[in-house]
Structure 1
Amino acid sequence: MEGTSLYLPVVILLMQCSPSVPVTVSTDKHRVEVHEFLDAVLSCTFRTEKDQNPRIEWKKKGKDVSFVYFDGHFRGPFEDRATIDGATVTLKGVTQEDAGEYRCEISAPLDTVNLGETNVTLKVLVPPHTPSCEIPSGAVTGSVVQLRCRDQQSIPPATYSWFKDNLPFHQPRHANATYLINSHTGLLEFKAVAKEDTGRYSCQASNRVGPPKMCEGKHMTIEDVNVSAVVAAVLVVCLVVTVCGCGGYLLHRNGFFSPGHRGRSNVNYVPPPQEPQDFKHTQSFML
C-alpha cells in the first residue's frame, strides 16, 4: 500500500502534464473526380476534445478564398444545389466552375486546440467535343503541309488520331517517314507531300471520359507543279520587259525626254490679244 501511495502523485502529475487531444479533421478522399453534371461528395469527418457543437465551415480556394458553407447555410452558387451531412458536403450537378480546391474547417472553442482543417480537390471530367480541324484543300508536290486538330474543352485533355479516306492514318514507325503525327497536339505534318497523299482527311479526339468525337472530313488534293505554265509565264514577263525597255530607249534616242523637245512644243504659242478695259472710278475714289 505504501508503494502504491508513492506512485499515485506521480501518475496524477503525468496526467496533468500530458498534452490535450486537439480537434482532429480528416477526409476519406483528398482527390475527387466526377463527370460533368453529376454529384460530387466532399467528405469531412472530425473529432473534438470537449466541444460537442463545433462550428463547421467550407471554403473554396482560388484567387480569393470564398465561402461555400458558413453559419449553417450554403453561400453563393451553392445555396440551392448542395447538402451537408455532419461535415460532409454533396455538390449537385457540378460543372467546370466548381472544379478546384476546397477546405473543411472545424472550430471548437471549448477545446484546448480549437481549430482543425483538411483539403479536398475536385476535378470535373468532361468528355470529348467535336474538334476543330484545319485541313488545306490543296498543295503542290514536295511542299511542307500541316494539318491541325484541337479540342479545347475535354478534361483530361484529349489525344488525337487521324484518318485518311475513313481509314486510320497510323503513326510512322521509322525515322525516314515523310510525315509526323503528334497525338497530344493534334498536328499531322508532311515533310514533302506527294500525289499519293491526296485524299479525304478527318481527325478524332478521345479521352477516357466519354465517346470519341470526329470532325467533318475534308478533301486535300496534291498536284504536280505545271512546269510548262511556269516557263510560259516567265517568257511572257521577259518579253514585256524587253518591249518596254526597247520602246523607252527609242523614245529617249529621238529626244522625246530631252528638255529641248519639251520646250519646242510651246515655241509657236501666241497668247490671244486682250481687249483694253475701261478704267472706271469706284466709289472709293470719289471725293
Structure 2
Amino acid sequence: MELPPLAALLGSLLLCCAGLTKGLNITSTNQPMVEKAQGEKVTLPCTFTVAQEDQGPLDIEWVLIPTDNQKKEQTIIMYSVDRIYNNYYEAMNGRVQFTNPDPRSGDGSIDILNLKSADTGTYQCRVKKAPGVESQKIQLTVLVKPTMTKCYIEGSQETGRDLTLKCVSQEGSLLLSYNWRKITGTEELPATSLLNKDTGELSLKNVSEEYSGTYSCVAANRIGTDDCFVVLNVTPPINTAGTIAGAVIGTLLGLFLLAFLVFCCCKKRKEKKYEKEVHHEIRILKVAAIVPLWVQCLPPIWKDMPRLHIIKYQVKTLNVLLVKTQTFHRQSMTSHTRFMISQWYKHEETGCTCPMNFNCGETEVYYEMKYCLFRLYLFSL
C-alpha cells in the first residue's frame, strides 16, 4: 500500500534533479509573429542563460528558413569564437547587426534596419554552448502601405448609362480596404451607388448630370493610406443619327469633289491633245505649202515618196549640204561644192529650173537651197 507514494516521491526527485541540471536556456518571450512596416527597424529577440556545466565555446547563429523545403537555409549573421560575422547574406549587408555588441552577455537578439518586403520570412535563433543547444523561431512580416493608387472610370459617361469608378493600388500589403467619397457638390455618394471595399469598385446605376463631380478613393491597410481622384462628367447622349448623317454627307461631298477633279483633268488633257493635233496639222499644211518651192528639184525617185518622208529626208540632206558649203565664200563655190550640187542634180529628168550645166549660176543654186532650208525649218519645227 506504501509503494505508490514512494514511487511518486522518487519521480518528483528525479524531475527536480533534471531541472537543476538543465544548462543553456533561451529566456526571451516567445513571439511567434512580428509585424513591421517597410522602411522601419525591427528587433528579433533572443536572450539566453547558461549553466556552469556549459563549458564549450559560445556560438550564436541566425538563419532564414525558406518557405520551399527543397532550398537551403540562409545564414544571416553569426557569433563564433568571440567574433561577429555579418556578411553571409548579401541582401542584408549593412542592414543586420546584433543588438548587443557583446552577445556573451546573454543577449543574442538582432536588429534589421530599413526593412524591405523581401525580408518577410521565418527566422530562427540558434544558441550553442556545449553541451547545451537551444533554438527559437520568429515569423517576420514586413507590411507595405498602399502606394501608386490609381483611379479611373469604366463605362460611358452619358445620362441613363451604368458605369463604375475603380480604384487600384499598385503596391501594398494584403488586407487592403478601399473607400470612395464625393468631394464636390453634395459631397454624398449617389443613392444608387454600390461600394465594394475589397475591390475598390463603386458602381453607379442610371447616372444623371447630378452625379457629376470629383470623387476620391482612399486605399488603406494597417500601415498607412494612399488616395487618388477622378472627375466624373455626365453629359446627354450624343445624337448618333446626326453624326452618321453628317459622316455620310461629308463622304459623298468628298467623292463628288474627287470626281469633279478627275473630270477636269481628263478634259484638260483632251484639250491639250486636240491643240497638239491641230498644231501638227497646221504645221503639215505649212510644210506642204513650201514643198513645191523645192520639190521640183528632187530626183524622180524621191518624188515618188510620201511628202512627209521627203520632208524629213530632205531636211537632213539640205542641212548637211548647207553646213558643208557655209564654210566657203558665198560668191564663188569650190569644185567640192559643185560636186555636191551635181550629186543633187545628177538625174537628167529632174525638171529643175536650174539645168545640169549650171547656166543659172552656182551662187543662185546655193542661195536657193539655203532659202528652201530656212523656210523649211521656219514652218515645220
TM-score (norm 1): 0.61
**RCO greater where, 1 or 2, for CA within 8 Å and sep 6 or more?**
1
For residues 16 and 26 of structure 1, do their structure 2 counterparts lie closer, same or farther at Cα, with a shift above 3 Å needed? closer
Equivalent residue in structure 1 for 2:65, among 61, 67, 70 = 61
CA drift of 1:170 comes to 5.5
Larger strand proportion, structure 1 or 2? 1
Equivalent residue in structure 1 for 2:172, among 144, 151, 154 = 154
Is 1:90 aligned with 2:111? yes
CA drift of 1:168 comes to 8.6
Identity of aligned residues (%): 26
Is 1:218 aligned with 2:220? no
Contact 2:193 2:205 (C-alpha < 8 Å) held by counterparts: yes
For residues 120 and 26 of structure 1, do their structure 2 counterparts lie closer, same or farther at Cα, with a shift above 3 Å needed? farther
For residues 168 and 125 of structure 1, do their structure 2 counterparts lie closer, same or farther at Cα, with a shift above 3 Å needed? farther
Contact 2:144 2:173 (C-alpha < 8 Å) held by counterparts: yes
Is 1:163 aligned with 2:181? yes
CA drift of 1:158 comes to 3.4
Equivalent residue in structure 2 for 1:38, among 37, 40, 47 = 40
Contact 2:159 2:236 (C-alpha < 8 Å) held by counterparts: yes
SS at match of 2:118: helix
For residues 222 and 59 of structure 1, do their structure 2 counterparts lie closer, same or farther at Cα, with a shift above 3 Å needed? farther
Which has more radius of gyration? 2
Distance in 2 of aligned mates of 1:167 and 1:150: 24
Contact 2:164 2:204 (C-alpha < 8 Å) held by counterparts: yes
Is 1:186 aligned with 2:200? yes
For residues 171 and 158 of structure 1, do their structure 2 counterparts lie closer, same or farther at Cα, with a shift above 3 Å needed? farther
- Residue equivalent to 1:73: 85
TM-score (norm 2): 0.48
- Equivalences, count: 217
CA drift of 1:150 comes to 1.2
Could you tell which deviates more after superposition, 79-88 or 89-98? 79-88
Distance in 2 of aligned mates of 1:66 and 1:167: 57
Cα deviation digits, residues 235-262 of structure 1 (max 9, x gap): xx9xxxxxxxxxxxxxxxxxxxxxxxxx
Q: Where does structure 2 lack aligned partners over 5 or more consecutive residues?
A: 1-8, 249-381
Contact 1:36 1:126 (C-alpha < 8 Å) held by counterparts: yes
Is 1:106 aligned with 2:110? no
For residues 209 and 167 of structure 1, do their structure 2 counterparts lie closer, same or farther at Cα, with a shift above 3 Å needed? farther
CA drift of 1:122 comes to 1.9
Question: Amino acid of the residue matched to residue 40 of structure 2?
Answer: L
For residues 83 and 165 of structure 1, do their structure 2 counterparts lie closer, same or farther at Cα, with a shift above 3 Å needed? closer
CA drift of 1:145 comes to 1.3
CA drift of 1:39 comes to 1.7
- Residue equivalent to 1:241: none
Is 1:124 aligned with 2:124? no
Distance in 2 of aligned mates of 1:134 and 1:232: 27
Question: Amino acid of the residue matched to residue 164 of structure 2?
Answer: Q
